[in-house]
Structure 1
Amino acid sequence: MTTTLAALLGGALGLLLGAAAVLAARWSEGRHVAPSPIGVDATAPGTVADVLAVLRSSGIILDAEERVVNTSPPAVAHGLVRDRQLVHDQLLQLSRQVRRDGEIREAELDLPRGPIGHGRLTVGARVAPLGSEHVLLLVEDLTRAKQVEEVRRDFVENVSHELKTPVGGLALLAEAVLDAHDDPDAVQRFAARMKVESSRLTRLVQEIVDLSRLQTAETVEQPRPVNLHEVATDAVEQTRLLAESRSISVELDHGTVDGHRLPCVVYGDRELLTTAVRNLVTNAVNYSEKDTRVQVSVTRAADLGRVRVTDEGCGIARADLARIFERFYRVDPARSRSTGGTGLGLAIVKHVCANHGGEVTVDSEPGRGSTFTVRLPLAPADALAGRRPAPPGVRTRAVPGIPAGEDVHVEVRP
């Protein structure tokens, strides 16, 4: 072995021994020094951003001025953060207490789902200091767990009450078929009626299941950008045959300005939103007279997207307006039976809107038709562009899971 090679090996061995000694010393210190509350250095925004990007829960970081400097995509999608601000005052007060005394706090909070409507969100919040300047909030949605028992109870009650009529009808019709076995015309007539009752029963069971799922918010756990223009188009097309069979025209207005559709995108579930609008259009057609119009429009006002369905039907009495969104409530039971209604359509619309942080309202007078309006909070433009808000001088990052322009098809203008 040459002298040079021996020197190199000796130096390398010395470096390794020195590094091992340093690591051993730090490990020994770590056994006696209490760790920081979170264990993440707030001065490493890249590392924090990478951690937040993979969180399934809502993670939010506030700076000393209570601005949101970083957040996970679910926090924006669920409406906890908008325009670099924490939306709910309860979470803000909790973060202030942590900032004052440095103590980690946990709380269960009841929050509104959106700026309008009556939808509520039950969350478990854990707030802790992150370094000397920042506060970290981890927010878990507990709404589903809180509502499961209530939904199960309502499900049993609804089934026992509403299934009596079609099941009883099928039993009577079966007896009639047996008694008329030697009369082919009577058998055919009773069999046709049995088919109608079976279809009603199938539809009723499906809508009860759908409503139960909505009450537990199972289908909006991973909201995505949804274009309300496309939702309205799909809903109108799905009711076209029904409207034509009743000689009713359905008109769709996309609210264009200078030939361009105004961006109208919300976070949510496209299938559920289409179901809600379709229920409103179907309801308008069923309660309209022959040779009348149903108008559907999509507009926006400030931070809200609106879908309106207007008919020229019989209208709704003031005494019924407060109850039409209740499960199984029917303004005209006889007409509901003739159109195959289950009394759940408007209840489903109400819960879809609530689960999306919005609301549905109705304006109606007897003899003057009705207008149902769905209002939903619009998605932030920066999230739709694939960027999360960032303070001046901080490099922005693409929002994981929401590629720029995916399933949006709108013109985002400054």
Structure 2
Amino acid sequence: MDSAWLVPAALAFGIALGAGVFAIVLMAARRGQRAADVVSTAVPDGVDQVLDALESAGVVLDPSNNVVKASPGAMAFGLVWHQALVHPELVALVDRVRRTGEPVTEELHLSRGPFGDAAIYLFVRVARLGARYILLLAEDRTESYRLEEVRRDFVANISHELKTPIGAVGLLAEALVSASDEPEQVKRFAKRLTKESERLARITQEIIELSRLQATDALTRADLVDIDHVVAVAIDQNRVVADSHRINLVSGGDAGAEVFGDETLLVTALHNLIANAIQYSPEGSRIGIGVSQRDGIVEIAVTDQGVGIPEDELDRVFERFFRSDPARSRNTGGSGLGLSIVKHVVQNHGGDIRVWSQPGNGSTFTIRLPEANRAVGASLGAHA
């Protein structure tokens, strides 16, 4: 065999073999990198910082649906527990996106956390994040749903509240016509007609007042208000009703307290608290109205010895048209707006209102307002 061609052939074979080995090594390296990518839990650059900055919920999941990154909001909403999504509904959305590759958007009603009874409403969007990860974003819509529910309740309640006196006025007017030849009947129906028309006027006025308090210009001018005078006027306005129920109204505490605000509105708020206390107090009992000053805050407390409020209703007493005892309220002509008006008056003055109560042992409603010498005028336009 001629050795002249063996050297080039061997050289060519060596080059080919080396190229093959290099290709194998390169493929192995690439496969190794892909395997490392699968094992790695690192999310794409910048995603960590974005999730940390989110006020809403954000979650990044790997191909096994393990949570590799979650925003503080996701933890607060109870969406993640033990590095996994809590809710099957969210897992189903993630699986659908992984299967189809298309982003999805849904509104979901979920429980807060794995064991929670509280409900949350979330606007959820799920989409791919690169080739491996799934990004889930959730915006809390719970407050929007709650406000919508309050609005529906308000419309329903106001329709009911107005329908009763309006219907009564119509029936009494017809009765007056029928009893035109009976003077005593006319007097009786006329008296009831006057009472129902007054009730209708009172509800309408309170609705107007509440709407005005919720407006942006509810407190356009703030004057120096003497709290002693506010207490005296509010007590005087309720004196006749209290006396008719043999209820003793007693005032006391620190004298000389002053706040910045609208005296008429503050009198209305305190009047409503005292009237509410009278309404739920037994005859022959006592209602105390006390004023105190401390740490730059003026407190006006109204304490009764009435029926009290169940603990599960304490958070609702300031809602419009809410009544702890509907039968008693309707019998006494209550509209269910009094405490809501109190809340908005106080908030418009930069303060807050608190309630303590125990069934059978009475209640205490406390208005807290910034003291005049420390109040900041600019804060008086704060609204609920």
Q: Is 1:251 aligned to 2:244, yes or no?
A: no
Q: Is 1:314 aligned to 2:313, yes or no?
A: no
Partner of 1:194: 193
Amino acid at match of 1:376: L
Q: Residues of 2 paired with 1:382 and 1:186: CA distance?
A: 58
Q: Residues of 2 paired with 1:155 and 1:322: CA distance?
A: 17
Q: Residues of 1 paired with 2:310 and 2:368: CA distance?
A: 23
Note the alpha carbon deviations across 1:59-118, whole angstroms, 9 max, x for none.
Answer: xxxxxxxxxxxxxxxxxxxxxxxxxxxxxxxxxxxxxxxxxxxxxxxxxxxxxxxxxxxx
Q: Residues of 1 paired with 2:191 and 2:185: CA distance?
A: 10
Alignment map for 1:35-46 (pairs within 5 Å): none
Instruction: Indicate the SS of the match to 1:316.
Output: coil
- Whether contact under 8 Å (1:155, 1:212) holds in the other structure is no
Instruction: Indicate the SS of the match to 1:216.
Output: coil
Partner of 1:292: 285
Q: Is 1:372 aligned to 2:371, yes or no?
A: no
Range that drifts further, 158-167 or 243-252:
158-167
Unaligned 5+ segments in structure 1 are 1-151, 256-260, 385-414
Instruction: Indicate the SS of the match to 2:316.
Output: coil
Partner of 1:206: 205
Find the structure with the greater CA-based Rg. 2
Q: Pick one of 337, 344, 355 that aligns with 1:344.
A: 337
Partner of 1:133: none
Deviation at 1:300, TM superposition (A): 1.2
Partner of 1:162: 161
Instruction: Indicate the SS of the match to 1:331.
Output: coil
- Whether contact under 8 Å (1:280, 1:309) holds in the other structure is yes
Deviation at 1:237, TM superposition (A): 1.7
- Whether contact under 8 Å (2:234, 2:270) holds in the other structure is yes
- Whether contact under 8 Å (2:260, 2:375) holds in the other structure is no
Q: Residues of 1 paired with 2:375 and 2:195: CA distance?
A: 50
Q: 1:336 to 1:159 in 2, by over 3 A?
A: closer
Q: Percent identity among equivalent residues? A: 49
Q: Residues of 2 paired with 1:357 and 1:200: CA distance?
A: 31
**Hey, which of these two has a bigger chunk of helix by percent?**
2
Q: Residues of 2 paired with 1:195 and 1:241: CA distance?
A: 19
Instruction: Indicate the SS of the match to 1:349.
Output: helix
Q: Is 1:223 aligned to 2:234, yes or no?
A: no
Partner of 1:266: 259
Note the alpha carbon deviations across 1:367-396, whole angstroms, 9 max, x for none.
Answer: 101100000111235999xxxxxxxxxxxx
Note the alpha carbon deviations across 1:307-361, whole angstroms, 9 max, x for none.
Answer: 0000011111122212111111112222112222111110110000110111111
Deviation at 1:184, TM superposition (A): 4.1
Aligned-pair Cα RMSD in Å: 2.6
Range that drifts further, 224-233 or 290-299:
224-233
- Whether contact under 8 Å (1:219, 1:269) holds in the other structure is no
Deviation at 1:303, TM superposition (A): 1.6
Unaligned 5+ segments in structure 2 are 1-150, 378-384
Amino acid at match of 1:327: R
Q: 1:383 to 1:331 in 2, by over 3 A?
A: closer
Deviation at 1:159, TM superposition (A): 5.0
Partner of 1:332: 325
Deviation at 1:221, TM superposition (A): 1.4
Note the alpha carbon deviations across 1:135-161, whole angstroms, 9 max, x for none.
Answer: xxxxxxxxxxxxxxxxx9999777544
Range that drifts further, 268-277 or 235-244:
235-244
Alignment map for 1:23-62 (pairs within 5 Å): none
Note the alpha carbon deviations across 1:209-235, whole angstroms, 9 max, x for none.
Answer: 111111114341121221222211221
Q: Residues of 1 paired with 2:286 and 2:226: CA distance?
A: 25
Structure 1 length as normaliser, TM-score? 0.51
Partner of 2:316: 323
Q: Residues of 2 paired with 1:245 and 1:187: CA distance?
A: 27
Partner of 1:20: none
Note the alpha carbon deviations across 1:1-42, whole angstroms, 9 max, x for none.
Answer: xxxxxxxxxxxxxxxxxxxxxxxxxxxxxxxxxxxxxxxxxx
Amino acid at match of 1:325: F
Deviation at 1:285, TM superposition (A): 1.2
Q: May I ask how many residue pairs the two structures share in their alignment? A: 228
Partner of 1:146: none
Amino acid at match of 2:352: E
Q: Residues of 2 paired with 1:190 and 1:184: CA distance?
A: 10
Partner of 2:175: 176
Partner of 1:36: none
Deviation at 1:180, TM superposition (A): 3.9
- Whether contact under 8 Å (2:259, 2:375) holds in the other structure is no
Q: Tell me: higher relative CO, structure 1 or 2? Use CA pairs within 8 A at least 6 residues apart.
A: 1
Amino acid at match of 1:248: I
Deviation at 1:273, TM superposition (A): 0.5
Q: Residues of 1 paired with 2:227 and 2:278: CA distance?
A: 21
Amino acid at match of 1:173: L
Note the alpha carbon deviations across 1:277-316, whole angstroms, 9 max, x for none.
Answer: 1110111112111111000000012021100000011111
Structure 2 length as normaliser, TM-score? 0.55
Partner of 1:71: none
